[in-house]
Structure 1
Amino acid sequence: MTEVFKSKEIVLQVQKKFLSKVTNKNVVKLFIDDRNANILDNLYRLTKLYTGNKKDSEKLTKNIIKIIVKLGILYRNDQFNKSELVLAHDFKYKFKELTMISVSFYEIDFSYDRNYLINNLFTCREMLKQLTKRHLTDKTMTRIDKIFDFFTDPFFLDLVFKRDNKLTPTVKLLIDGLKESLDKEF
């Protein structure tokens, strides 16, 4: 029996392992552009304002970054099969739609529909888990759940879309960043 050495698999394992140790902003910039980093910074500020807990907000943001970077690594290394690529495209479209919905809810008075938003977030969660289940660990699946559990919290969502509260200035910055991102096509 001939043993086959696959350097591509080793490179992917090393990248994943490296990522699990990465917290340095400069290294993350290799995977996330400045515009999206700005969105993540404002998302961190928003979660910190809401929770009052710096450590939890940092952990949530780091989990989001890890998921984004892992998806990027998997994609760049051609790890997704045809059906996963279709799912990735569908997820990207659904996430873009979710972003547009969020911007609309913020900009148009009395348009906010919590249940509609939560249902779309649940759909995104399931699509993301389906996309990554073959590639990532249970620990990463738990990270995905924690991220979406936070953002589907009805109290959080209600406060985000309510006007004139402690979150409003940061929400506006976040929405402006999301609008810019939509304009430049995700």
Structure 2
Amino acid sequence: MESFSSKDMAMKAQKKILSHMASKSMVQMLIDDTSSEILDEFYRISKEHSGNRTEAQKVVKDLVKVVVKVGVLFRHNRFSKEELSLAQDFKKKLHQGSMTAISFQEVEFTFDKDVMTALLTDCRDILLKLVEKHLTPKSFGRIRHVFNHYSDPDLLTNLYTPVALSGPVSQRSAMA
């Protein structure tokens, strides 16, 4: 006998619809100005690093899709106690990465690409474990794409060169 749940179907539809709404104009309608500015900076960093507008857009679009899907799962109470613990671990690790990035920017000559790469890799792995029972392999690919892109040692090194530090990324990062 096949089990049917309208709640499950509604959640799947919501994830699907929201993932198709990841265009810049739709994102700006759904998020606050600060988040929008941060996404714009992620786009700018990606575009400068890759030299490819399409790739930069794809990375940011993947980021938005992942955030939306995890948000839908959380809002619908789909995570077990163990998974909620993983979510807290992810939040702490991401915060640690943010504080480390700001510290690297504020204290000259402290940048260590290996530390940042390891923090981002840990975040990726925790997030993958958190969603392993809830999302598709395509979504796992998006998570890997985003974290692998931003943990690229060359991207990180370029981000912390003296020229990059005088730009808007450092100013916005310090305010975050």
Work out the CA distance in 2 between the residues paired with 1:49 and 1:113: 21
Residue identity over aligned pairs, in percent, reads: 35
Q: Pairwise mapping of residues 8-157 of structure 1 onto structure 2 (< 5 A)?
A: 8-29=7-28, 31-157=30-156
Q: Which has the higher contact order (CA 8 A, sep 6+)?
A: 1
Counterparts in 2 of 1:51 and 1:162: CA distance versus 1, 3 Å:
same
- Give the AA of the match of 1:132: V
Structure 1 residue 177: deviation in Å?
2.9
Structure 1 residue 121: deviation in Å?
1.1
TM-score by length of 2: 0.91
1:94 touches 1:124 (CA, 8 Å); kept in 2? yes
Structure 1 residue 151: deviation in Å?
1.5
RMSD: 1.8
Deviations 1:149-178 (A, max 9, x none): 1122111111111112xx445xx4233333
Aligned residues: 176
Matching residue of 2:174: 179
Work out the CA distance in 2 between the residues paired with 1:151 and 1:23: 19
Work out the CA distance in 1 between the residues paired with 2:111 and 2:146: 21
Structure 1 residue 86: deviation in Å?
0.8
Deviations 1:93-139 (A, max 9, x none): 11011001001101110110111111111111100100011100001
Please list every run of 5 or more consecutive structure 1 residues that lacks an aligned counterpart in the other structure. 182-186
Structure 1 residue 144: deviation in Å?
1.1
Work out the CA distance in 1 between the residues paired with 2:29 and 2:134: 21
2:15 touches 2:68 (CA, 8 Å); kept in 1? no
Please list every run of 5 or more consecutive structure 2 residues that lacks an aligned counterpart in the other structure. none
Structure 1 residue 34: deviation in Å?
1.9
Counterparts in 2 of 1:5 and 1:108: CA distance versus 1, 3 Å:
same
1:31 touches 1:72 (CA, 8 Å); kept in 2? no
TM-score by length of 1: 0.87
- Give the AA of the match of 2:169: L
